[in-house]
Amino acid sequence: MTRDELCSILKAVHAGRLVEISDWEVIDMPGGWLVTCTFYRPDRDTLEPSIGQGRAWRVGEEFSTEQVVRTAFSAVKMLVDHELLEFFKVGGERVFDPHERSTAHGETRLGAR
């Protein structure tokens, strides 16, 4: 896998209407690259349009096209899951918060009601 091949594959990634990918950042590192997906989404508090950024994923020079595609899929899936946690509400109350340790792993803010 070359950097140009990686960029070409990532440029072709689309997730339809589910998430609008803005760009993929590719950072050189020994033996491969770190790739990060940026995407358009509403701000969780103001709902104003903004750009979010997922976590960095390692892609090795030894990766096949299929491995790059699967990595891109995992990156997009993780950012969609993250956004869903932020926007999921019960009775108007946000019950999960991926930025709050206690609710990021499945506990809710609802407590025993």
Summarize the chain as % helix, strand, coil (round to 5): 30, 30, 35
Residue 110 lies in a domain: no
Residue 111 lies in a domain: no
Residue 63 lies in a domain: yes
On whether the CB atoms of residues 19 and 76 are closer than 8 A, the answer is yes
89-108: pLDDT as tens digits: 888 888 888 877 665 555 66
Q: What is the number of domains present in the chain? A: 1
How many CB atoms sit inside 10 A of residue 18's CB? 10
Q: Which domain holds residue 46?
A: 3-104
Residue 9 lies in a domain: yes
Residue 109 lies in a domain: no
Residue 96 lies in a domain: yes
The confidence score (pLDDT) of residue 110 equals 59
Residue 112 lies in a domain: no
6-16: pLDDT as tens digits: 999 999 999 98
pTM of the full structure? 0.84
Residue 95 lies in a domain: yes
